[in-house]
Amino acid sequence: MKTDFWLERWQRNEIGFHKDKANPALVNHWHTMPVDIGCRVFVPLCGKTVDVVWILREGYQVVAAELSEVALDALADQIEGEFGLAVDKQTVDGLILYRAAGILLIGGDFFKLTARDIGPVDVIYDRAALIALPPEMRKDYAQHLMAITHSAPQLLVTVDYDREVMDGPPFAISTSEVNDHYGATYQIDEMECREQIDEEVRFRDRGLNSMMQTVHRLVAKK
């Protein structure tokens, strides 16, 4: 899957994956993460998700990465409107950086980001990154994410469904695949698994009768 795919979807506003409210998986399970108020949260492939606003409102700092400048412009506008902050935007070493107090949004290719680019990370929130990538990219994604965050704790949200009926994105990811990518490094706890097809009518229209959402808590093994 080439970067042009996502850039074109944002340009055409084909963003059925975007939600107007904070994801219940985040709201219901964030308190289980080993992180203190004020800590720094990394949100990969963030789009313009209002989850970032929710995290900020709860008292955390955020660093988020996204390929689409269109998405980040919209997210920066949300942040300015919600908190009355002036978000500074500039290009530095090929990256588009949006900065405000406790906030860093990075526009660029996730796979080219370094630990220095994103700075210290205390916890990761991945609702829409792993499931946005086809199978051949997911191993590299997981390895790179762990490398640049030093395997910070992670709240990961995945979906699974009948692959013979539909292909992604969002891509179907089994619990065993999550373990394949992260099990050597993390203790993985399944926090919730629930049916959400009634909340995703667009997928029922594509022939799916079931879409299971699973929330995973990942904490590095000692």
Binding residues, by number, are 10, 45, 66, 127
Q: Give the residue numbers of the binding site for S-adenosyl-L-methionine.
A: 10, 45, 66, 127
- What are the b/e assignments for 114-151, b being 16+ CB within 10 Å? eeebbeebbbbbbbbbbbbbeeeebeebbebbbebbeb
Nearest to 16 by CA among 202, 171, 165: 202
How far is Cα 73 from Cα 121, in angstroms, rounded to an integer? 23
Q: Using the 8-state DSSP alphabet, how is residue 114 labeled? A: -
Total number of residues shown for the chain = 222
How far is Cα 198 from Cα 175, in angstroms, rounded to an integer? 22
Could you give the 3-state DSSP secondary structure of residue 209? coil
- What are the b/e assignments for 179-196, b being 16+ CB within 10 Å? eebbeebbebeebeeeee
